[in-house]
Amino acid sequence: MHRILILLSFLALAPFGGAAPPQKATLGAGCFWCVEAVYEQLPGVIEVVSGYAGGPEKNPTYQQVSAGRTGHAEVVQITFDPAQTSYRDLVDYFWKTHDATDPRGVWPDFGPQYRSIILAHDQEQLTQARASLQEAGRAHDKPIATELVMLEKFYPAEAYHQDFVRRNPSYPYVRNIAYPKLDKLGLKRP
């Protein structure tokens, strides 16, 4: 009986199937609606949440962030299965999603709230993001303007921003900006 209890305790503490637990990545590449619609389609991605990060304002609202008053950028927080994709793969893909050389933001949305930004969750992610940025920099004639910092706090955006592209297919921004971006990347329109 004692051996059974020990075995059951061990199994309860061991990760399911011996797999590594899901990890998170936080990235900003302009309007979070488009970034969310892109990353939701990548292999190994479990969940993508639109939100705000990179600024000092606590509990920011969309109105505050979109006005550029908080220091935050529109970002997505990606939960992924490291057995199916890596943090480095997600960051390497990041460079394909936007023009990271424009310090004004990501077309057609300009301002600090739409800046290109990678927010690392730990030192290992920071190291991998730096290596990816250096490699991406060699492929551009202009310097990359992406901000690379440690994540301090992620604030999920309001509910109506989540899965925006999928839930609002006739919205003009979705039709004119998000869908062409998905088409260019060879991804499906939700």
Question: What are the structural domains, with CATH classification, of the chain?
Answer: 19-184 (3.30.1060.10)
31 assigned to active site: yes
pLDDT of residue 11: 42
Looking at the predicted structure, is the pLDDT value of residue 7 above 90? no
Residue 50 and residue 33 in contact, taking contact as beta carbons nearer than 8 Å: yes
- Each residue's pLDDT tens digit, 66-93: 999 899 999 999 999 999 999 999 999 9
3-state secondary structure of 158: coil
Say which of 27, 31, 76, 118 is annotated catalytic.
31
Asked if the bond preceding 108 is cis, omega within 30° of 0, the reply is yes
Element (H, E) at 134: helix 123-137
Give ∠ CA 77-112-55 in degrees, rounded to 5: 55
The pLDDT value recorded for residue 14 is 44
Q: What is the pLDDT of residue 140?
A: 86
Q: What is the pLDDT of residues 122-179, one digit of tens each?
A: 999 999 999 999 999 998 889 999 999 999 999 999 999 999 999 999 999 999 999 9
Q: Tell me if the pTM is above 0.85.
A: yes
